[in-house]
Amino acid sequence: MRNDLLLLTPLARFGDAGLLLLRLVTGAFLIWQSHDNVFSAERMAEFETFLARFGFAAPSLMAPLCVYAQFGCGILLVFGLLTRWAGLITTFVFVIACAMVHWEQDFPGWWPALILVFLGLLFATLGAGRYAIDHRLEKR
């Protein structure tokens, strides 16, 4: 009882709700930051130019690959479908972003991409939680 109060262990029963909220906000962010490139050829061309400026190989291939990966992973996270895969892909995309784009920036410049690396790792290891399509698939 004493340790429960000190460690707040009763809050653990809300872990699945916490994962749901984290998935929703992370997925919504990934969708939001990539949707303009998905639906606008002009914005995709701007992103290709951005990638070329940072020395990415084959920016005309990498731009849509990166954008659709983010957009698709955002949708998967919102629904809690293939969450571990979405987490791994998100981690991969944002490790590359940190290495290629944010390397020269100060820590606050790294923060959004770095957080997405670790959120991706969290989803890859913990999965989606109880309030997800994955949970229903695991029960079968």
Listed by start position, the domains of the chain span 16-139
Residues in the chain: 140
| One-letter amino acid of 137 | L
Contact in structure between 127 and 86 (CB atoms under 8 Å): no
**pTM, entire model:** 0.92
- Residue 101 has which token pair? 């784009």
Residue 38: what pLDDT? 97
Beta-carbon count within 10 A of 99 CB: 10
Residue 13: what pLDDT? 92
Per-residue pLDDT of the chain (140 residues; tens, 9 = 90+): 678 888 888 888 999 999 999 999 999 999 999 999 999 999 999 999 999 999 999 999 999 999 999 999 999 999 999 999 999 999 999 999 999 999 888 988 899 999 999 999 999 999 999 999 999 999 87
